[in-house]
Amino acid sequence: MQQINSFEAYIKAYQNSIDNPEQFWDGVAHQFHWTKPWETTLEWNFTEPSIKWFAGGETNLCYNCIDRHLPTKANQTAIIFEPNNPDEEVRKLTYQELYIEVCKFANVLKSLGVNKGDRVCIYMPMVPEGAIAMLACARIGAIHSVVFAGFSATSLADRINDSECKILITADAVYRGDKLVALKNIVDEALANCPSIKNCIIYNNRNENINIVPNRDLWWHNLLVHISAENTAEPMDSEAPLFILYTSGSTGKPKGVLHTTAGYMIYVGYTFLNVFNYQPQEIFWCTADIGWVTGHSYLIYGPLLNGATTIMFEGVPNYPNAGRFWDVVDKHQVNIFYTAPTAIRALEAQGTQWFEGKDLSSLRVLGSVGEPINEEAWQWYHKNVGHSNCPIVDTWWQTETGGILISPIAGITPLKPAFATLPLPGVQPVLMDANGNEITENDVEGNLCIKFPWPGMSRTLYGDHERFRQTYYNTYKNYYFTGDGARRDHKGYYRITGRVDDVINVSGHRIGTGEVEDAINTHASVVESAVVGFPHDIKGQGICAFVIITTPQENLEQEIKETVSKIIGPFAKPDRIIIVPGLPKTRSGKIMRRILRKIAEGDISNLGDVSTLLDPGVVVEIRRLAGVFRGGI
Ligand code: WT7
């Protein structure tokens, strides 16, 4: 595939991609393997919305990730598995070995009656079998829905039920640091309420004693006995659904973001190669979990599409100590390292002694993803991890965009700390003013929209196209609305400032305020709640909940926190609960979060106009109860 190798080449490619988008993407698509060529490159309208890329064509993502490389790269390592416990064994799978495992598992799924278009839920730790399961689904045309293995039983069940998954793939348990997470127990609790699940496949990761439900539960290793390793990748329509990935919106119910085959493949393949300026033989390490879109696009699919070597790390940044990331970089001589600002800030707080004795000289490119990176963290990362000679690519994108949209091209785009810089070829970002018009000048701030399709964009929300339209294509007619605010400097560089909707970003995890409120409200003593984000030194944003209760009770705050942990997952646990007598509401009953956000931030000097409130007195009371609370740790 063609790689951009100078800033002039980027400018030229960008201009070309805007002047002749179809020709541009045709050129990229030709670099992949197709079983049937496409008839039209792009058909679209943002009103319905309806977006089709490479319609009429047939291809297979798994084939392009694996089979295509076998003639030249059979013995090259595809996946390096680094276990949670550094004393346990590293596993390496070559492209040939990965091919065999994926073919076998594809046959397992077929033998269990999984057909094209069926949904398969994957609730797995960060082990190669998670990747094998995803690739096997793509190979047979089943739609995978990976659920992050930090989600609770209730969240898992909701996601399985929303897309009526037929099979659930999981593991007995996983260690994260020194904590054992009994995944199969969580699964058993979830499956009590999931009528669509016919079978549960369990990968034996830790040899834990687990409960086996006869006829339903099957061990991964037993299924592999006597299974053929011959499997032909299923030719898939370009627009055939590839995967569903649930993400949070402003209401309680998570959204099943749907991606389709060819456009997603081409987009992540192209962006991986170019953003990271990947060179043959390099070792790429993305620390994201396969349960998030970064894990899909830049841990598995992007690297494999380019025949790269990708690291899968089962552990956490601070186990056995805060030097673990640097141990792994040293041990595997990592060339490209891609992580989240929250991890950088957490490690920064641990001091620089953790770098002592670690050889980081293999590093060539660093990446950041998931939330705005503040300038201080950027500088620390650049100096201590990159020894001031590795470019940092601050990559802005979303679950819905499939791949990176705004980012420097490593080594090519001149950097500016805390700026995601310029759009990638094919991407047409615009800023909108308060009246819904495009802002044409620079040095401005506005709501970030994209005005032309790119191949990796989401096509719908599973089972709810109307919600898809409403959420992304209704605020601004004929634009995709990202939900983010951004600033554009005098050179046209973008800095993403954060969400402008009711979504908060905690440690790079997107959480809907409505989702947390729904969870809090299930507690018997809770009458009503309102959740807002506040600036947090390490997590980026923390969660603050204002809660109205029936009767005071000891330890209620703790109980409410636990309720959220139980219903959504530990990562969504509020940092602070403030019990209040009332919430600031307008006469029409809408909660004025703007006021609560200011109180949570500790910025109570000017709460703005409170005259539209039903009961302005309640604000005085909330302010008193909140104290002068400052965000942070
Ligand atoms: C939201 C999307 C992109 C994969 C991981 C998160 C925020 C993401 C950046 C960045 C500033 C960023 C945005 C976006 N975000 N990357 N480089 N700079 N903000 O995916 O869970 O879908 O969240 O993450 O607010 O809308 P996600």
Query: Atom 2, ligand 1: which residue's CA is nearest?
Result: 398
Distance of CA 110 to CAs 213, 230, 586, Å? 21, 12, 55
Residue 92 neighbours by CB distance under 10 Å: 14
Query: What pTM was computed for the model?
Result: 0.95
Rounded distance between C-alpha atoms, residue 233 and residue 417, angstroms: 44
- CA gyration radius for the chain? 24
136 lines ligand 1 (CB under 6 A): no
**Residue to probe by mutation, ligand 1, list 243, 338, 339, 496, most atoms within 8 Å of CB:** 496
Contact 588, 573 (CB under 8 A): no
pLDDT at 625: 83
Q: Which residues of the chain have pLDDT under 70?
A: 604, 628-633
Residue 483 makes CB contacts below 8 A (sequence gap 6+) with 398, 499, 500, 501, 503
Q: Which of 446, 541, 456 is nearest to 494 (CA)?
A: 446
247 lines ligand 1 (CB under 6 A): yes
Q: What architecture is the 503-629 domain classified under in CATH?
A: 2-Layer Sandwich (3.30)
Separation of CA 218 and ligand 1 centre (Å) = 37
pLDDT at 630: 47
**Residue to probe by mutation, ligand 1, list 397, 447, 449, 539, most atoms within 8 Å of CB:** 397
Query: Atom 20, ligand 1: which residue's CA is nearest?
Result: 398
**Residue to probe by mutation, ligand 1, list 398, 427, 450, 481, most atoms within 8 Å of CB:** 398
Residue 122 neighbours by CB distance under 10 Å: 25
Separation of CA 371 and ligand 1 centre (Å) = 5
Separation of CA 248 and ligand 1 centre (Å) = 12
Average pLDDT of the chain? 95
The two three-digit tokens of residue 284, written as one number: 């790429």
H/E stretch holding 523 reads none
541 lines ligand 1 (CB under 6 A): no
480 lines ligand 1 (CB under 6 A): no
502: DSSP letter? S
Rounded distance between C-alpha atoms, residue 181 and residue 306, angstroms: 34
370 lines ligand 1 (CB under 6 A): yes
Rounded distance between C-alpha atoms, residue 398 and residue 482, angstroms: 8
293 lines ligand 1 (CB under 6 A): yes
Distance of CA 425 to CAs 25, 56, 453, 517, Å? 10, 24, 12, 40
289 lines ligand 1 (CB under 6 A): no
Sign, CA dihedral 148-152-157-163, equals: negative
Separation of CA 449 and ligand 1 centre (Å) = 14
pLDDT at 628: 52
Residue 373 CA: which ligand 1 atom is closest?
18
Separation of CA 397 and ligand 1 centre (Å) = 5
In the chain, the amino acid numbered 305 is L
398 lines ligand 1 (CB under 6 A): yes
H/E stretch holding 241 reads strand 241-247
322 lines ligand 1 (CB under 6 A): no
Residue 603 makes CB contacts below 8 A (sequence gap 6+) with none
460 lines ligand 1 (CB under 6 A): no
